């Protein structure tokens, strides 16, 4: 064993001969200290046991189900396509192996390992966090710090800055699997515009492709694609097409033929390109572990960037496999044998399971191989890197193709390291109230693991959404960086206008609220990226006491806001835990009201036609007027809502929103300070943003007195 030491309270331990995943960007430095972790090497596995005291909380593990406090549940890191996120599931699309055990003292752990890890976080024995690593070659990072925030920040620093999308990616996006042709897409666009609902873009699901072939466009359904894309873009509307991991096996298909010629596909045990079955039927999987393949596949996005496309979503990159021919044939044979027989419960179930268990078998992942630095390595051994490296490949390609213009890029599968190349959506949730609640809780956990450009399918993917659920979900999602309403084929329409007039009016106002808040949301996003800080935090990261630990359906955004989504039907409001005195704000264009609330538990009304949140004392938030898209946001007049008892400060970040000039120091700040005087406020503004001309203030004090002020900025 070699031991490394990084400064800043971070120690790195190396076991065996790990594969370099690229998760950490900071150089590893040798530490002389001995690891105090209890690691037990057994067969081909490694078991770690961490004692938990009754008070310990466990945070992290990113895109997995469950609570913010991970204790009392089982989890697994093995990227998996599972479209039914029920309570008993242990694994989803991500493998995010960073967690913090926090009690008397707090400690962070990151297991840098590319395949399966299982966690029993005090499920079978509440006194232990037991971890089973499916291998003996890995790094473990141990991060000491004062508290979970501090530890998360240190972790964010060593894994490198998260991906930064263009500013337009912070707009509202409409999606559905099943917008089958140009006319469908145009209709969505027209209906949004005609009903004055802001719309930044429309995601294109696999309906746009020719026969589910990557980088193809259906001539039949999307003829004149380039003109179509550019026509919409003139009006500031972006189309965001999907790309799947599997490449259709078909003679004459350029991507397939190039892939074969260039030796870009994963191989089976006999050295032939591995064949799985996904959307287009038989496919080969690009070997994203190879740099040449990353560059090759990344360059193929050109087919679409040439049409004016600047955003993509990478799907099915766990990779999802519907079946492998051999196993389907076995199932069919078995079924044929049983034909005409009088089946009892066992034989009937076996017959049925033969088919229903065909997808994503462990066997499949064990039976195809990557080329890792010249070595043959099964997918099973590096499974969690597949979606990560596919997205890295897309990022490398798009960076070149778009000449250093920023692009929107999200992936379904991910592991830590990928956060530098793209964002993620949280996969195939359902139109369930419990999934709205789950969406709240996943946000801080994902942030801890480096994923900042994140959001769930608003309204829910599977199942049929109704107007109330969509409205409540929007009241959450307008605070998440990725705001996308998406649903599955076969489910009820889910656009804001698909329900009643009332639902449409409420949705419109809430989405407009999002656009009003973009200056703030973008600023918080960018500051979090640049300063290695969390954008979303659990209450317990900021406040002491049992309630702060237990209340998980309220989360903090930046240092200013607490959001309190409603995640039950028929509720007119909810109980809110206020860890300190805060200002309740109902934030809508015409009717913005506020009320100072004492600390403690209070029942707060929250109607369907509001956008509600709480502001912490001595803070402020900037906002602007709503617009139909980001391009048309008012850059000249800024509004500020402040809650001032003594003195409040805010530093508004902005940049051009499209280029990477911000990485070279080309960004703007507007520093605002409001100081309470006897019966007035002194306002100081230090501004480098050339577009801001006026700032209008609404300042509330602890007695609910309101003052309006106007300042012109030079």
Interacting residues with ligand MIG (CB under 6 A): 177, 205-206, 242, 315-316, 412, 427-428, 461, 486
Question: 169 and 454 in contact (C-beta within 8 Å)?
Answer: no
Nearest one of 432, 511, 497 to 465, comparing CA atoms: 432
| Long-range Cβ contacts of 330-336 (<8 Å, 24+ apart) | 330/354, 331/355, 331/358
Q: In degrees rounded to 5, what are phi and psi of residue 638?
A: -110, 145
In the bound state with ligand MIG, the residue whose beta carbon lies nearer, of 409 and 620, is 409
In the complex, what is the shortest distance from the CB of residue 429 to ligand MIG, in angstroms, rounded to a whole number? 9
SS3 state of residue 589: coil
In the complex, what is the shortest distance from the CB of residue 202 to ligand MIG, in angstroms, rounded to a whole number? 13
How far apart are alpha carbons 227 and 694 in whole angstroms? 39
In the complex, what is the shortest distance from the CB of residue 314 to ligand MIG, in angstroms, rounded to a whole number? 10
Other CB atoms closer than 10 Å to residue 713's CB: what's the count? 17
Helix segments in 218-361, DSSP class H: 225-234, 254-261, 291-299, 302-305, 325-338, 345-356
In the complex, what is the shortest distance from the CB of residue 495 to ligand MIG, in angstroms, rounded to a whole number? 15
In the complex, what is the shortest distance from the CB of residue 356 to ligand MIG, in angstroms, rounded to a whole number? 15
In the bound state with ligand MIG, the residue whose beta carbon lies nearer, of 22 and 427, is 427
In the bound state with ligand MIG, the residue whose beta carbon lies nearer, of 221 and 486, is 486
In the bound state with ligand MIG, the residue whose beta carbon lies nearer, of 9 and 178, is 178
Q: Are strands 647-654 and 668-676 parallel, antiparallel or unpaired?
A: antiparallel
In the bound state with ligand MIG, the residue whose beta carbon lies nearer, of 134 and 365, is 365
Question: 284 and 266 in contact (C-beta within 8 Å)?
Answer: yes
In the complex, what is the shortest distance from the CB of residue 553 to ligand MIG, in angstroms, rounded to a whole number? 25
SS (H, E, C) 437-455: HHHHHHHHHHHHCCCCCEE
In the bound state with ligand MIG, the residue whose beta carbon lies nearer, of 206 and 518, is 206
In the complex, what is the shortest distance from the CB of residue 428 to ligand MIG, in angstroms, rounded to a whole number? 5
Q: Give the chain's radius of gyration (CA, Å).
A: 26
In the bound state with ligand MIG, the residue whose beta carbon lies nearer, of 280 and 427, is 427
Question: What CA–CA distances, in Å, run from 565 to 462, 622, 662?
Answer: 21, 21, 33
In the complex, what is the shortest distance from the CB of residue 492 to ligand MIG, in angstroms, rounded to a whole number? 15
In the complex, what is the shortest distance from the CB of residue 156 to ligand MIG, in angstroms, rounded to a whole number? 27
In the bound state with ligand MIG, the residue whose beta carbon lies nearer, of 85 and 514, is 85
- In this chain, which residue has its C-beta nearest to ligand MIG? 177
**12: β partners:** 4, 141
Structural tokens at position 130: 């037991």
Tell me 111's DSSP state.
Answer: E
In the complex, what is the shortest distance from the CB of residue 206 to ligand MIG, in angstroms, rounded to a whole number? 4
In the bound state with ligand MIG, the residue whose beta carbon lies nearer, of 485 and 670, is 485
In the complex, what is the shortest distance from the CB of residue 507 to ligand MIG, in angstroms, rounded to a whole number? 21
In the complex, what is the shortest distance from the CB of residue 629 to ligand MIG, in angstroms, rounded to a whole number? 23
Helix axes 225-234, 182-194, angle to 10 degrees: 10
In the bound state with ligand MIG, the residue whose beta carbon lies nearer, of 167 and 486, is 486
Nearest one of 673, 542, 691, 576 to 620, comparing CA atoms: 673
Q: Write the DSSP assignment of 10-22 as a string of letters.
A: EEEEEES------
Question: 345 and 265 in contact (C-beta within 8 Å)?
Answer: no
In the bound state with ligand MIG, the residue whose beta carbon lies nearer, of 18 and 178, is 178
Question: 207 and 179 in contact (C-beta within 8 Å)?
Answer: yes
Question: What CA–CA distances, in Å, run from 302 to 221, 308, 396, 397?
Answer: 20, 10, 12, 8
Tell me 288's DSSP state.
Answer: T
**Both ends of the chain: CA-CA distance in Å?**
61
How far apart are alpha carbons 546 and 499 in whole angstroms? 41
In the bound state with ligand MIG, the residue whose beta carbon lies nearer, of 96 and 370, is 96
């Amino acid at each position: 064993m070699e031991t490394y030491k990084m400064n800043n309270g971070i120690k790195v331990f190396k076991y065996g001969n790990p594969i370099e995943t690229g998760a950490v960007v900071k150089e590893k430095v040798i530490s002389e200290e001995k690891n105090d972790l209890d690691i037990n090497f057994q067969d081909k596995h490694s078991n770690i046991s961490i004692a938990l005291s009754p008070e310990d909380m466990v945070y992290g593990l990113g895109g997995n189900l469950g609570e913010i406090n991970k204790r009392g549940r089982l989890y697994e890191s093995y990227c998996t396509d599972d479209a039914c996120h029920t309570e008993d599931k242990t694994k989803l699309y991500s493998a995010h192996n960073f967690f913090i055990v926090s009690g008397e003292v707090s400690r962070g752990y990151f297991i840098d390992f590319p395949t399966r890890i299982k966690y029993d976080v005090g499920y079978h024995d509440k006194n232990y966090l037991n971890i089973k690593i499916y291998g003996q070659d890995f790094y473990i990072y141990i991060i000491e710090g004062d508290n979970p925030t501090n530890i998360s920040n240190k972790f964010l620093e060593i894994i490198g800055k998260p991906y930064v999308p263009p500013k337009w990616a912070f707009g509202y996006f409409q999606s559905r699997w099943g917008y089958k042709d140009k006319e469908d897409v145009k209709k969505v666009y027209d209906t949004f515009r005609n009903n004055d609902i802001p719309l930044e873009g429309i995601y294109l699901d696999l309906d746009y492709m020719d026969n589910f072939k990557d980088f193809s466009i259906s001539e039949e359904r999307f003829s004149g694609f380039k003109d179509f894309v550019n026509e919409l873009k003139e009006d500031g509307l972006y189309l965001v097409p999907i790309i799947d991991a599997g490449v259709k096996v078909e003679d004459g298909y350029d991507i397939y033929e190039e892939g074969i010629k260039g030796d870009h596909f994963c191989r089976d045990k006999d050295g032939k390109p591995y064949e799985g079955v996904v959307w287009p039927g038989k496919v080969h999987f690009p070997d994203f572990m190879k740099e040449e393949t990353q560059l090759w596949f990344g360059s193929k996005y050109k087919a679409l960037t040439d049409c004016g496309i600047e955003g993509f979503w990478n799907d099915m990159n766990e990779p999802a496999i519907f079946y492998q021919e051999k196993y389907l044939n076995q199932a069919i044979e078995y079924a044929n044998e049983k034909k005409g027989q009088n089946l009892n419960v066992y034989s009937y179930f076996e017959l049925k399971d033969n088919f229903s268990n065909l997808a994503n078998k462990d066997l499949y992942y064990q039976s195809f191989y990557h080329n890792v630095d010249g070595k043959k390595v099964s997918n099973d051994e590096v499974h969690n890197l597949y979606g990560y490296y596919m997205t890295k490949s897309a990022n490398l390609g798009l960076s070149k193709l778009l000449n250093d213009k920023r692009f929107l890029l999200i992936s379904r599968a991910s592991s830590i390291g990928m956060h530098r190349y793209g964002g993620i959506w949280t996969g195939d949730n359902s139109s369930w109230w419990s999934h709205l609640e789950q969406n709240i809780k996943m946000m801080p956990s994902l942030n801890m693991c480096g994923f900042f450009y994140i959001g769930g399918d608003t309204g829910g993917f599977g199942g049929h959404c109704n107007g109330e659920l969509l409205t409540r979900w929007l009241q959450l999602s307008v605070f998440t960086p990725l705001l996308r309403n998406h649903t599955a084929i076969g489910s009820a329409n889910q656009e804001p206008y698909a329900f009643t007039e009332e639902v449409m009016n409420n949705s419109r106002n809430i989405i407009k609220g999002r656009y009003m808040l973009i200056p703030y949301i973008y600023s918080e996003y960018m500051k979090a990226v640049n300063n290695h800080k969390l954008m979303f935090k659990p209450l317990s990261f900021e406040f002491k006491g049992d309630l702060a630990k237990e209340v998980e359906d309220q989360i903090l955004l930046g240092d200013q806001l607490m959001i309190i989504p409603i995640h039950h039907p028929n509720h007119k409001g909810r109980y809110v835990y206020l860890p300190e005195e805060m200002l309740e704000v109902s934030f809508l264009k015409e009717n913005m009201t506020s009320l100072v609330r004492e600390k403690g538990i209070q029942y707060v009304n929250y109607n369907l036609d509001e956008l509600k949140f709480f502001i912490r004392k001595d803070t402020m938030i900037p906002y602007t007027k709503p617009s139909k898209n980001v391009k048309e946001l008012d850059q000249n007049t800024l509004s500020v809502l402040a809650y001032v008892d003594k003195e409040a400060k805010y530093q508004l970040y902005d940049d051009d929103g499209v280029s990477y000039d911000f990485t070279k120091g080309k960004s703007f700040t507007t520093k605002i300070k409001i100081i309470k005087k006897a019966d007035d406020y002194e306002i100081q503004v230090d501004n480098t943003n050339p577009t801001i001309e006026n700032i209008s203030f609404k300042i509330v004090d602890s007695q609910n007195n309101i003052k309006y002020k106007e300042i012109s900025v030079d």
